[in-house]
Structure 1
Amino acid sequence: MLVSTDFVLRPYVPGDAPALVAAIVESTPTLAPWMPWATAQFSMSDALAWIASCEKGLADATCFEFAIFDRTSGVFVGGCGLNQINGLHGFCNLSYWVRQSWQRKGAASAAIRALTDYAWTELDVQRLEIVVAVGNDASLNTARKAGAFDEGIARKRLKLGRQWVDAHMLSLVKP
C-alpha cells in the first residue's frame, strides 16, 4: 500500500470490480478518447479480467497496477501503474487515470509521486516514461506539473482504437 496525504494506492482486489465499473462508466466522456477500452459497456467481467491480470502481473513482478482511493472517504478515484518494465535497459511506463468526478483534485499528481518513490526504492529502474497522446492536455499538464521532462513528440507512438497517433514522451529519472 502506498499512502499520500490525501490518497491511498493499493493493488486491485476482486472486490474493487463494482467501483471500477462505476468509475469507468461515469468517466467515458473524458477517458474514452485516450483509453478506447473505457466505454459505457465496460462490464463486471471486464473489470474482473483486468483485476486478474493485475494480480498475475504483481505475482510475476511484470507490472504493478494500483487502485487509487480517497484517504478520508475510501471512494475509488482511479487507477495507476508501472508497467512495460524493461529490466535490461532499466525503464518502465508510468500510467494513470482518474474518474471524471475526481479529476482536478490532485489524485493523478499524488499517484505519480507515489509511483515514482515506489519505482526508485522497489524496482531496478533508472527511468520512468509517461506517454501522452497529442491532444490529451489534462494528462500532459499533470505529468509536467509532477516534474516530468517533456522529451518531445514521438510519431505514431500510441495506438488508440485502430489509429496510430503521435504522443508526447515524458520522463522522470532517478536522482
Structure 2
Amino acid sequence: MDDSPLTADGLLLRPFQDADAAPFVAAVRESAEGMQRWMPWSSADYSVAQALQWFQACRDGWAAGSACEYGIFEQDTAAFVGGAGLNKIQHDPRFCNLGYWVRQSCRGQGVAPRVVRALAAQAFGPLGLQRVEIVVAVGNLASERVAEKAGALREGVARNRLVIDGRPADAHMFSLVP
C-alpha cells in the first residue's frame, strides 16, 4: 500500500518514524487521564519502548495491507498532534475501521473531523473501499461528536462490539460510504 503522506487542512498525516517516539510519548502522557477509559493502552507511564513497539506494529500492518496508521502533525510546525488510521482493512467486502486520538492540548480545534475526512478519502480513493466504520464505545461522547462532524451516519448500537480493558463494551456503529 502507498504510504505517502496525506494533508488535511493544515495537518500532515504520515507513517510514524522512530524519531517520533519522544513526542508521541509526551502526547500520550499528557492525554492519558482523558483517554485511558477508552484506550487502556494510554497511561501516564507510557514509554519510548512501547511507542517503538507500536511503530513497528504499524509498519507491519502497512506491509501486510491490513492497516494504514498515521501520525498527525501540524503542517506548518511539524508539532505532533495525535494518531489515526485505517485498520482491519478487508478487501472483500471492501471495508475498514477508522480510529483516531488527539492529544489533550490540541482538542477542540476540529483536528479529528479533518483527519477522519482525509482518511475516508484515502479509503474510498486509492484503497478502493466501499465502507468505513467508526466504532465508538457507548459513553465516549467526544468521539461520537467527531464521527458526526465528519459526516458519518450513526447506524445503531452493537452489543459487546468492543473489548475495553478486558471487558466487553457496547459501541455505536457509524459509517461513511462514498
Q: Same fold (TM over 0.5)?
A: yes
Give 2:52's match in structure 1, choosing from 48, 54, 63.
Answer: 48
Aligned residue number for residue 70 of structure 1: 74
Aligned residues: 174
Structure 1: give runs of 5+ residues left out of the alignment: none
Q: C-alpha displacement at 1:60, in angstroms?
A: 2.2
Shift of 1:73: 1.8
Report matched runs for 1:1-175 at 5 Å.
Answer: 1-174=5-178
Q: Distance in 2 between matches of 1:48 and 1:125?
A: 29
Note the C-alpha offset of 1:43: 0.6
State the one-letter code of the partner of 2:55. Answer: I
| Deviation at residue 124 of structure 1 after TM alignment | 2.6
Letter in 2 for 1:166: D
* Alignment partners' CA distance in 2, 1:74 and 1:85: 28
Q: What are the Cα deviations for residues 64-110 of structure 1, in whole angstroms up to 9, with x where unaligned? A: 00000011221100000000011111110011000000011111011
State percent identity of aligned pairs: 47
Q: Name stretches of at least 5 consecutive residues in structure 2 with no aligned partner.
A: none
State the SS of the aligned residue for 1:81. strand
Letter in 2 for 1:30: G
RMSD of aligned Cα (Å)? 0.8
State the TM-score, normalized to the length of structure 2. Answer: 0.95
Residue aligned with 2:125, SS: helix
Aligned partners of 1:60, 1:146: CA distance in 2, in Å?
A: 28
Question: What does the per-residue CA deviation read over 1:28-72, in whole Å, with 9 as the maximum and x for residues that have no partner?
Answer: 111101000001121111000000111121122210000000112
